[in-house]
Amino acid sequence: MQKITIAVDGYSSCGKSTLAKALAQKLGYNYIDTGAMYRAVALFALNNNYFDAKGKPNIDSVINSLPNINVSFTFNAANKTSETCLNGINVEREIRSMRVSDKVSLISSIKEVREKMVALQREMGKNKGVVLDGRDIGTNVFPDAELKLFMTADTLVRAQRRFDELSSKGQYHSIEEIKLNLQKRDYDDTHRKENPLTRAKNAVVIDNSDLSREQQLEFVLKLINDLHLITLTE
């Protein structure tokens, strides 16, 4: 069966990972959470005190540490998904914290960080049969991806989803705090110099403000069939 590359881009907390994971599982593809890779670098910077009192990163320290930063994924058989490792240590829970969310856009805007992560992503996806979600997959990492999706949703809906996710992990923040964090990340992601978040010209836009997980998965699978990208079988 022909294998393709599926790029899922979009704003924070729009369900990119949820959809990408479901697609990968349905198609038997590998799943790569590129946002988690940048979060892992941000966690490394936080743990090594690379931020000043105003919350700005010491860019030289981050760049100089890149040779010592290894980001990889390990498969969790219990929940059937990939989890992020930083230098061989599973950091999946830590990178989802607000502490990291507050800093990841600053780290991901560093040119040298993006260059290293993009090189890793291209290597991971070079044989196709992969679903990647992030901010610049369809525009920069894999501009020739056979299917490009761009996801968006109402900010309040996204904030509620993020609130529920954090609360389920015992991390409690107000909806307003989360909303402000999302708005700041949106601005940073769309205005950064290095490969900003933009919709690829041939990407299919999915506003899932009122869509369930099942509905958006069904929509994309039908899209794949209609475009004759893959022959799907039950």
Name which of 154, 127, 162 is nearest 5 in CA terms.
127
Read off the pLDDT of residues 167-208 as tens digits, 9 standing for 90 and up.
998 888 999 999 999 999 899 999 999 899 999 999 999 999
Residue 70 to residues 13, 115, 116, 117: CA-CA distances in angstroms?
Answer: 25, 14, 10, 10
Which tokens go with 63? 């760049």
- Is the pTM higher than 0.75? The answer reads yes
For the chain, which ranges sit under pLDDT 50? none
Distance CA 234, CA 122 (A): 30
User: Other CB atoms closer than 10 Å to residue 162's CB: what's the count?
Assistant: 21
pLDDT for res 234: 55
Judge contact between 82 and 31, C-beta under 8 A: yes
Q: CATH number of the domain at 5-222, out of 1.10.1840.10, 3.40.50.300, 1.10.10.10, 3.40.309.10?
A: 3.40.50.300
Q: Where in the chain are the domains?
A: 5-222
Name which of 150, 95, 145 is nearest 122 in CA terms.
145
Read off the pLDDT of residues 142-154 as tens digits, 9 standing for 90 and up.
999 999 999 999 9
